[in-house]
Amino acid sequence: MNNGRDGLRNRWLNWIGLGRLVSKHTDSNTPKETDQSTTVPIWEIKPTHVGKIFKHLIALGPEDRYLRFGYAATNEQIEEYVQSLDFERDSLFGIYNRRLDLIAMAHLSYSIDPNCASCAEFGVSVNQSSRGRRYGTRLFDRAITHARNEGVMLLFVHALSENTAMIKIAKRAGARIERDGPDSQAHLRLPPADFDSRMEEILDQQVAWTDYQLKTQAKQFSAWLGLHHPKKQSGMTPES
């Protein structure tokens, strides 16, 4: 419990720039969180950002689409997926760059199977150029916290067995991996929500909200200065 609270305190201090003044603590019994030294603002994606989701997903190459969806999704299939997203039922999380492009996203999809009412599935993608910065890990951590607070007890990740990065992320969080030839399924049992998980989510939301507002203002300011000329899009627009 104290370690969890120390983690929260450290993240807050890191975010406001005082992180080096505190030591790092991790709780090996908690199925989440590895290195807490960097806070990455993760925003809960709103339905108004379906265009950004589409733009992020169609930028994935054929191999990444295969890893993400389990098949080599075409642009049309990606568009269908985006159009079918249910923002009321599911939760989507995103990491935005300073131009407010979506550079990484996760989809936490709650089970509709009455036999597995407290289950959810996690899917994630990170832009090729933003890989290796622990964004995938952070999104998994963020989804775990949210899922716990929503009463999820079992989290699944479907991954190809060759997907070393995803399997590493899930394993490190404490997931059990079941391999079935080219496919693997990770199962992660989640502890019930507690005070720390709720506080952690409030803090994450606050950090993300502040970060997003600052980036929005910076973007508006550079547009006002004439430094930013957004490209015109056809079809689904990033702001749609």
Ligand X SMILES: CC(C)(COP(=O)(O)OP(=O)(O)OC[C@H]1O[C@@H](n2cnc3c(N)ncnc32)[C@H](O)[C@@H]1OP(=O)(O)O)[C@@H](O)C(=O)NCCC(=O)NCCS
Comparison of 63 and 194: residue with beta carbon closer to ligand X: 63
Decide if residue 143 touches ligand X (CB under 6 A): no
The mark string for 150-169 relative to ligand X (x by CB under 6 A, - otherwise) is ---------x---xxxx-xx
Q: How far is the CB of 166 from ligand X (least distance, A)?
A: 4
Q: 164 CB contacts (<8 Å, ≥6 apart)?
A: none
* Collapsed DSSP state (helix, strand, coil) of residue 64: helix
Which residue is nearest to ligand X, using beta carbons? 136
* Collapsed DSSP state (helix, strand, coil) of residue 131: coil
Applying CB under 6 A, the site for ligand X has a residue count of 21
Q: What angle do CA 116, 118, 121 make, to 5 degrees?
A: 80
Is 92 within 8 Å of 108 (Cβ atoms)?
yes
Decide if residue 31 touches ligand X (CB under 6 A): no
Record the tokens describing residue 83, joined without a space. Answer: 């159009």
Is 96 within 8 Å of 104 (Cβ atoms)?
no
Residue owning tokens 């502890």: 191
Decide if residue 56 touches ligand X (CB under 6 A): no
Decide if residue 142 touches ligand X (CB under 6 A): no
Q: 112-131: which residues touch ligand X (CB under 6 A)?
A: 123-126, 131
* Pairwise CA distance, residues 26 & 103, whole Å: 27
| List 42, 67, 73, 208, residue binding ligand X (CB under 6 A) | 67
Site residues (vs ligand X, CB under 6 A):
64, 67-68, 123-126, 131-137, 159, 163-166, 168-169
